[in-house]
Amino acid sequence: MAGRFVSIWFPYLLTDWFALRESYLHAVPFVLRTSAHGRMVITAANAAAEEKGITRAMVLADARAVFPTLEVRDAIPDLEARLLNRLAEWCIRFTPVTSVDLPDGLVFDVSGCAHLWGGDQPYLDAIVLRLRKRGYHVRAAMADTIGAAWAMARFGVEPFVIAPRDQLNALLSLPPEALRLEPDTTDRLHKLGLLCIRQIIQLPKASLRRRFGELVLLRLYQALGQVEEALTPVVPLEPYQERLPCLEPIVTATGIALALERLLDVLCGRLREEQKGLRTAVFKGYRIDGKVVAVSVGTSRPSHHVKHLFRLFEERLPTLEPGEGIDLFVLEAASVDDHVPVQEKLWGGMGGLGDMRLSELLDRLANRTGTASIRRYLPDEHYWPERSYRQALSLQENAATLWRTDVLRPLQLLAVPERIEVSATLPDYPPMLFRYKGAIHKIVRADGPERIEQEWWIQEGEHRDYYRVEDEGGSRYWVFRSGHYQEKTEQWFIHGFFA
């Protein structure tokens, strides 16, 4: 596993926030309170208060008995979630994947980010420094797993950067609380004298599971990196997305087209600035009855051409049912590629396969009829006629070999050779006449035979002896005998028509 995570702990998140608003609260003992079961309970205490022995969950009256001039503020419900969300969004400057870790922390996936700050330690220092500047008490640690980083941030000592694959050694001396367990479980572990993770790891897994439940093992494995753990990023990774909320629900086709055009304008403007082009895009409408309707398009090469994309969508728009009305439009570029801008030509060139207009045309065709209907062919090194060419993978792919010009091939080739009835055959000669689709053709002139053997490594079967023949009307055919000459039982086929 190549992941790298940073866990950040704000030991005094709420009190720090109040102190930022009333600066004199910094130095004095200060708590937040809320009422529970008819009495005032402390929900958060700052560092100064904790020094006096005032902690969370104490009854306010007891705390006042300890320290009469205690500053008290009313707690704001759900403040920590909102604060952490805001902090996580702000921290996107450090990594694109930031996540809230309630009640008092953040977790970042920093895989591949640290080198931009010159290494793990400077990176972690930068994060801590920036957060401290904002006025928060911060502890942070970096490790290969979320669990290890979490444990080190809260219970560890320097160094806070755990080297890759070294989380086991770092965890050994930490208390069981570092495993993110329920308070009941940690209490029981303490009662049994299991005071650090080293002791827990030594126990048989089966008895750990039986006595303390599955969670202990799961947390242990997660911290050690034996079980993967996923993050829920604050900002989902859908970077190319535009939204258009509407005051009134939209029901008309014109309205939908307008919304699409506006969204395309914004999205393409952004793509152009970042020198990107979209490959697939989804246009979604959130209806007022709660349903989501969507249409999607794809392009054969990255594009940020508003007009072109609009035309692609235009075909599909009638399938978008507005129902009672759509009040939110979202345009997402699901896949995006680099798009190097080319100089605009004042005079249209000769065209060619690289022309943007051509790929736009093919997008339109593919959008209506499916990409499978558009084909381009390159030579393939096979004698067997049906295999002598293959489908090209892209418009730009070049032929690796040359087309064969030494043998004549018919301009029209039947996909499957058709049986013909022949008469008056001689060995190694074409027939005198043949019947095809009810008409009898008398062969006047002929060329051949050209024997083409089966490619036995691909397909087994008889070889073919091809003849180019011309009937008295001047029509030219490509016929073959399957296998060797045998009187009465041989099989003849027609395979193509020459020009």
447 lies in the site for another protein, by CB under 8 A: yes
Q: For residue 5, which of 128, 109, 151, 147 has the smallest C-alpha distance?
A: 109
Integer Cα distance of 481 and 494 in angstroms: 9
Nearer to another protein, 447 or 455 (CB): 447
Q: What DSSP line would sit under 150-197, residue for residue?
A: HHHHHH--S--BPPTT-HHHHHTTS-GGGG---HHHHHHHHHTT--SH
Applying CB under 8 A, among 201, 257, 358, 433 the residue interacting with another protein is 358
Tell me how far, at minimum, the Cβ of 360 lies from another protein, in Å.
8
The one among 226, 280, 369, 486 contacting another protein by CB under 8 A? 369
d(Cα 125, Cα 111) in Å, to the nearest integer? 16
Q: Where does this chain touch another protein (CB under 8 A) — which range of 134-142, 274-282, 330-338, 403-411?
A: 403-411
Comparing CB distances to another protein, the nearer of 192 and 317 is 317
Is 429 a binding residue for another protein by CB under 8 A? The answer is no
Burial of 232 (0-12, 13-18, 19+ CB in 10 A): exposed
Spatial separation of the C-alpha atoms in residues 60 and 323, rounded to whole Å: 56
The answer to whether 318 contacts another protein (rule: CB under 8 A) is no
Closest contact distance (angstroms) between CB of 491 and another protein is 21
Q: Quick one: which of 233, 285, 431, 496 contacts another protein (CB under 8 A)? A: 496
Peptide bond connecting 449 to the previous residue in cis, omega within 30 degrees of 0: yes
H-state helical runs in 283-340: 306-316
Inter-residue contact 328 to 255 (CB < 8 Å): no
Q: Which amino acid is at 498?
A: F
| Smallest separation (angstroms) from another protein to the CB of 351 | 4
Q: Is 362 in the site for another protein (CB under 8 A)?
A: yes
177 contacts another protein (rule: CB under 8 A): no
How many of the other CB atoms lie within 10 Å of CB of 390? 12
Among 251, 257, 334, 378, binds another protein (CB under 8 A): 378
Task: Please identify, using beta-carbon distances, which residue of 291 and 445 lies nearer to another protein.
Answer: 445
Figure out which of the listed residues 476, 480, 481, 492 binds another protein, where binding follows CB under 8 A.
476
493 forms beta bridges with: 419, 480
Lay out the site mask for another protein across 179-198 (x = CB under 8 A, - = otherwise): --------------------
The least distance separating another protein from the CB of residue 306, rounded to whole angstroms, comes to: 18
Q: How many CA atoms lie within 13 A of 450 on its CB side?
A: 15
User: d(Cα 116, Cα 318) in Å, to the nearest integer?
Assistant: 48
Query: Per CB under 8 A, which region of 83-91, 204-212, 217-225, 358-366 contacts another protein?
Result: 358-366
Kindly list the residues in this chain that would bind another protein in the complex (CB under 8 A). 348, 350-353, 355-358, 360-362, 364-365, 368-369, 373-379, 385, 388-389, 392, 395, 398-399, 403-405, 408-415, 444-447, 468-470, 472-477, 496-499
